[in-house]
Structure 1
């Protein structure tokens, strides 16, 4: 599986394609709503779904857990093709020369994204798991976490209308364009003046040395 890309003389890798396993994990945790589609599928066979990552002991993303309505055409498509393309979109924003503090500097757009190719198992046996991991991920850390027991009378009926899946990662590509190519003085000006605190935080993450 291709994860954090490494440069070579024969096939140089853009600095925007250099990232760590922890960067992928942070992206998925903070921006879990991803486009899930069948390879080569039409827009009708693509849906935005919240996903939770599974990681091995080294921290590498190995699978994504999710669920979707049984009535969604994507459910049948995933069952028949057993493959998916999954797109995560992280922080993004326009960066003006005003933010850079320079008039001899062209505007740009900074962003973070990850593309996952996966083999998919979709099964009613995975529905309870998919609900449990998503609830744990979203409710964990709250002062009074919500549990499914609070809708016990309706839970079975609601769960019967959805189906869970596990997408085992076969390939992963990422692009984190977050100011790594800027001059130090320009980068500092952008970090000090850009109005999006989330984008600024991610830019700082990828420019720690600068």
Structure 2
């Protein structure tokens, strides 16, 4: 990336997120971008707690992006939260045009490539423990079949992001009257977009037809 300061996330004052860290913690599946114009979707979490200034993640080692990562590279991680199309039929008090509501956060920082097995294992353990925390009986990396983790460690490439900045945007119709916001909420509840489960069902149906 160029030495010039990176442009900030576009977020008009009305949409500036009060707590971008919460966006990241709630939606840790991010798009990591680095100077070589590679981009990869992967979970990225805070290494120690949600207020630390270091984030960690990993990706498949045979991914060309993984092979291009270099310590000292500047990186951008984009975290996308919920989003939806907003129809103008819901605007009554303040007529408008179609738009999109969304929640997102940007993390910018400096990459550190992690290749040490112990450090990679710690990153995997931290990631799994965090994601499993909501289950009644959390799965641990120690529950993996014998030899499985040792087999997989050489096949991944882990990284740290030493955070320079965190920015967030919550565009949720804040600039519209309360009545219109209520209609938008009701409309979204009555006519939601298909969720991931719907996509999975469609994929299953397509595979049966193939």
TM range (shorter): 0.7 to 0.9
Q: Which residue of 2 aligns with 1:84?
A: 75
User: Residues 80 and 64 (structure 1 numbering): CA distance in 2 closer, same or farther, change over 3 Å?
Assistant: closer
For the aligned residue pairs, the C-alpha RMSD in angstroms reads: 2.6
User: Residues 111 and 61 (structure 1 numbering): CA distance in 2 closer, same or farther, change over 3 Å?
Assistant: farther
Q: Which consecutive residues of structure 2, in runs of 5 or more, have no partner in the other structure?
A: 1-7, 194-210
Q: Which residue of 2 aligns with 1:16?
A: 15
2:25 to 25, 29, 36: 29
C-alpha distance in structure 2 between counterparts of 1:63 and 1:111, whole Å: 26
TM-score, normalised by the number of residues in structure 1: 0.75
- Cα deviations by residue, 1:143-181 (Å, 9 ceiling, x for unpaired): 111112222321101122112211011123322211111
- Cα deviations by residue, 1:88-135 (Å, 9 ceiling, x for unpaired): 111110011233456933221101111221111111233112101110
C-alpha distance in structure 1 between counterparts of 2:62 and 2:83, whole Å: 32
Secondary structure (helix, strand or coil) at the match of 2:77 reads strand
Secondary structure (helix, strand or coil) at the match of 1:175 reads strand
C-alpha distance in structure 2 between counterparts of 1:80 and 1:63, whole Å: 14
Q: Which residue of 2 aligns with 1:145?
A: 138
Matches within 5 A, 1:171-190: 171-190=165-184
Q: Which residue of 1 aligns with 2:203?
A: none
1:116 to 107, 119, 122: 107
Greater alpha carbon shift after TM alignment, 97-106 vs 76-85:
97-106
Give the paired residue count.
179
Greater alpha carbon shift after TM alignment, 76-85 vs 154-163:
76-85
